[in-house]
Structure 1
Amino acid sequence: MKSAVETLSPTRAKLTVEVPFEELKPSLDAAYQKIAQQINIPGFRRGKVPPAVIERQFPGAARDEALNDILGTKYIEALQANDLTPLAQPEVEVLKYDDEGPLEFTAEVDIKPEITVPDTDGLEAEVESFEVTDEDVTEQVDALRTRFATLLDVERPAKDDDFVVLDLKATRDGEVVDGAEITGFSYQVGRGGMIDGLDEALVGLSAGDDKVFTSQLVNGDLVGEDVEVAVTVTQVQEQELPELDDDFAQMASEFDTIGDLNADVRERLTRGKRLEQAAAARDAVLEALLEKVEIPLPESILTEELNARRQSVEQQLAYAGMTLEKYLEEESQTQDEFEAELERRVRDAVAAQFLLDEIADKDEIGVDQGELTQHMVRRAQQSGQDPQEFVNHMLEHNHVPEMVQEIRRGKALALLVEGAIVKDAAGNVVELKNLRPDGTIGDPEAEASEEAAEEAPAEESTED
């Protein structure tokens, strides 16, 4: 077999492949044998029909069968011979395929671009500083207090943050909208998330009052259509929070004092913000490296990813009961601005994948079975799926190579971040190398000493 490659662009190549008849013959013989096993010809036993007879009865069938078999094989051989990594299915054109002559075909395909990883020594990035304020702690403790709050009936008009028990019915042209009628529903005024205009209608209503207003539905068959909403308040309730004292700390947590509870909340917030800062650091380091290299991107890959991202956004909005038009209106963003921002993110994401893949290949980063299992379990938990079902799905649909590649990229990025100098806005170096998954900072020397102390007795008993 002979092959030649023509570079159409940094991300697209055209292979021209010539396969001599000698290499075609085994596939042709196999095709004739396969057809012979499937047909009945008077005078011949099944499987013993000569090729000449098959050709008279089914002209070209064996050649077509052989072509399907050999195209894929020779295409892969040509890729390997020319050291090309395909990114999509090829566009194949058969140029010549005679009875006794060679097979000639071309294959145009998007390929992985050649990337020269820039020098990562001294790579620097900056992230925002973080601080856990008293207000942050108070907000978290108050959220905990609401879990132990009681609701008391009050004889006054409803206001923001009150709870009301209501009946609600939406109609259009005098007919009740399917699924838009509820009774005895408890709702916190100002919470939002139901029908536009409901919070404004409820403020000022007392028990026994009702109000009618016009709104638009955000889901169902009548999305965007005006409907008439009638709401009746049957109860107004005020939320009473427990006193912020040691008794509350003992009731709501494992701590004896409110001071200990506040300290624990502050520590947990610190850990969380530290992890958020670390995530921002990873993004900043990767962005700093991407600025040092020009990575050509295949348009077909970008288009496919753009469509997938756009569909994902629309699905998420639909789950939230919102249209894209409504979302853009609330964000004060035009359709063109949304598309431009989406395309920028997609280009950055695809470029980052190519760069991290190159780093992983260069550093020969591997993935063991334990890392793969842990990654798939974590992905299952993030998507709310049963881990075993998730793993089975990945295996059945051959998604394991994608999982492996995700892990390799993560490990490549971790190496970059560990070698980079990351500072916050105040000029302080951000600790990343010893950051644990729970947001605490580890002490490698102390941990090494502990491990040595644990292993020492075992070593002594071995010597005895």
Structure 2
Amino acid sequence: MNIQVDKKPNCEAEVRVEVTAEEVKNKRSTITAGYKQHAKIPGFRPGKAPDAVVAKRFKGEIEGQLRDDLLRGGLDEAVSENKLNVLNVTQINDDQFNEDGSFSYVATVTLEPEFELPDYKNITVEVAKEEITDERIAEELDNLAERFAEYADVEDRAVAMGDIAIINYTATLDGKPLKEAEPKVTDFIAGREDHWIKMDEESFMPGFCGQLIDLEKGGKNEKVEITVADDFPLESLRGKEVIYSVEITGIKEQKLPEINDEFAAKLMPEKTLEDIKALIRENLEDQAEQARNSAIVDQVVAKLDEAVETELPEDVVARETQRRVDEMVRRGQTQGMDADAIAAQQEEILEAATTQAKVGVKSSFILEKIAEAEKIEVSDNDLMQAVAAEAQRSGKQVKKLVKEIQKNNQVGTIRHQILIGKVIDFLKKNVTVNDAPADADA
């Protein structure tokens, strides 16, 4: 067997294989013998039919298996002989039986990135430790109070910050209706009727609410001028001036409940205000600890990424990019974005997904290599514990969930997630964490 390996950029390699006529002949004989042993051919007992009869009767099956075995065997030998770490075979080209009886083909394969691991046991990070203040607890109580707010109609004064304004509004760009000038823009931006808006400087579009102050119910401002922000999702609108015509059709004043023991009992029966404050503090401390742990992991992985220079396999990055695009779209739909809004952001979504995918794929290869170096593995018991935990979380029976996982070919994915989690735990045990200033970026 003659094998040539030509490594190319982006973790790709071209493997040329030629199987000699003698090897092809021997492999064909072995396959034919297997069919001969079990074949039921009229006039012959099993295993007694002549080779020529068996070869003719099962020609298609034998040739198909021969081709598959030669392809697989050639690649296996190429991998072993050249110590290739193959992720997948992307193409098989020019596969043919030649006139001299040999068999040849060209396989394009994706290889694992090749790089040296940096020192991953002596990483130092700086993460701020958040203190939960009384002011923070008061903010959370205010947020809870807003959920129980009542809204009273206002008839005798103009709209003010903090009110709920009910508005009809339409937008124009360069004298044309915004929807006509920019068909991709959503109705939320272009105009709606009976829309409720909290009067706040950051509501809707920055600066919008401030131009409605002093308008009473029935009042209009036909020239609310808004310069679209440079980070607006629809790139074609960035920096442009949109003119809104706005009519106030109603004003509602927010009436917040008094924050006392009576309010606490509404939140949780038989609890006092001090009880609620203690629970809020506990929850905020848990959140702060989770955020701190996440920041530690993010910094560790970022330092590893920075220390490693390597090419990445394009097909792996492409699959991960598509997965992240799908995830972003689902998240947008869950948050109420319609198809138009998602379409308007498709370029930004793809750009963000591609960037995240490259970082994620690179990090994954680094963490997998650390797992190999430290002999970190995933046992069947680890897998079953993860499945049991997911079953409990989702309320499904373990047996039913196992069948779903097997049906969807997710066992490998779950094993990989567990492996990465184990490596992260290993890195956290070895990292040195210094406290950063409270206002520093984690």
TM over 0.5: yes
Instruction: Tell whether 2:281 aligns with 1:266.
Output: yes
* Higher mean C-alpha deviation, range 194-203 or range 406-415: 194-203
CA distance in 1, matches of 2:243, 2:396: 41
Give the CA deviation at 1:236: 2.5
Structure 1 segment 171-320 matched on structure 2, within 5 A: 188-190=198-200, 204-207=214-217, 233=249, 235-253=250-268, 256-306=271-321, 308-309=323-324, 312-313=327-328, 316=331, 320=337
Partners of 2:113 and 2:310 within 8 A in 1: yes
Partners of 1:31 and 1:62 within 8 A in 2: no
Q: How big is each residue's C-alpha offset from its partner over 1:300-320, in whole Å with a ceiling of 9 and x where there is no partner?
A: 333443455456546655753
CA distance in 1, matches of 2:187, 2:118: 60
CA distance in 2, matches of 1:237, 1:378: 47
Greater relative contact order (Cα < 8 A, sep 6+): 2
| Residues 296 and 255 (structure 1), Cα distance of their counterparts in 2 relative to 1, 3 Å cut | farther
CA distance in 1, matches of 2:422, 2:317: 24
Q: How big is each residue's C-alpha offset from its partner over 1:202-255, in whole Å with a ceiling of 9 and x where there is no partner?
A: 655544557778999x99xxx99x99988662x432111111223322332367
Give the CA deviation at 1:118: 3.0
Partners of 1:10 and 1:114 within 8 A in 2: no
Q: How big is each residue's C-alpha offset from its partner over 1:357-386, in whole Å with a ceiling of 9 and x where there is no partner?
A: 11222333233456435646777999x997
- The equivalent of 1:436 in structure 2 is none
Partners of 2:3 and 2:18 within 8 A in 1: yes
Partners of 2:387 and 2:402 within 8 A in 1: yes
**Letter paired with 1:73:** R
| Residues 56 and 376 (structure 1), Cα distance of their counterparts in 2 relative to 1, 3 Å cut | closer
Give the structure-2-normalised TM-score: 0.68
CA distance in 2, matches of 1:128, 1:327: 34
CA distance in 2, matches of 1:50, 1:18: 30
Aligned Cα RMSD in Å?
5.3
CA distance in 2, matches of 1:152, 1:186: 14
Q: How big is each residue's C-alpha offset from its partner over 1:412-459, in whole Å with a ceiling of 9 and x where there is no partner?
A: 1110111111112149xxxxxxxxxxxxxxxxxxxxxxxxxxxxxxxx
CA distance in 1, matches of 2:245, 2:383: 52
* Higher mean C-alpha deviation, range 92-101 or range 114-123: 92-101
Partners of 1:306 and 1:342 within 8 A in 2: yes
| Residues 9 and 147 (structure 1), Cα distance of their counterparts in 2 relative to 1, 3 Å cut | closer
Partners of 1:36 and 1:54 within 8 A in 2: no
Instruction: Tell whether 2:358 aligns with 1:347.
Output: yes
- The equivalent of 1:138 in structure 2 is 138
CA distance in 1, matches of 2:349, 2:332: 18
Partners of 1:115 and 1:358 within 8 A in 2: no
**Letter paired with 2:17:** V
**Letter paired with 2:337:** A
Q: Unaligned stretches of 5+ in structure 1? A: 38-42, 329-334, 428-464
Give the structure-1-normalised TM-score: 0.65
* Higher mean C-alpha deviation, range 400-409 or range 146-155: 146-155
Q: Unaligned stretches of 5+ in structure 2? A: 172-176, 181-185, 227-231
Query: How many matched pairs?
Result: 402
Partners of 1:255 and 1:261 within 8 A in 2: no
- The equivalent of 2:28 in structure 1 is 24
Partners of 1:11 and 1:113 within 8 A in 2: yes
Give the CA deviation at 1:192: 8.2
| Residues 73 and 152 (structure 1), Cα distance of their counterparts in 2 relative to 1, 3 Å cut | same
**Letter paired with 1:413:** I
CA distance in 2, matches of 1:25, 1:203: 91
Instruction: Tell whether 2:365 aligns with 1:361.
Output: no
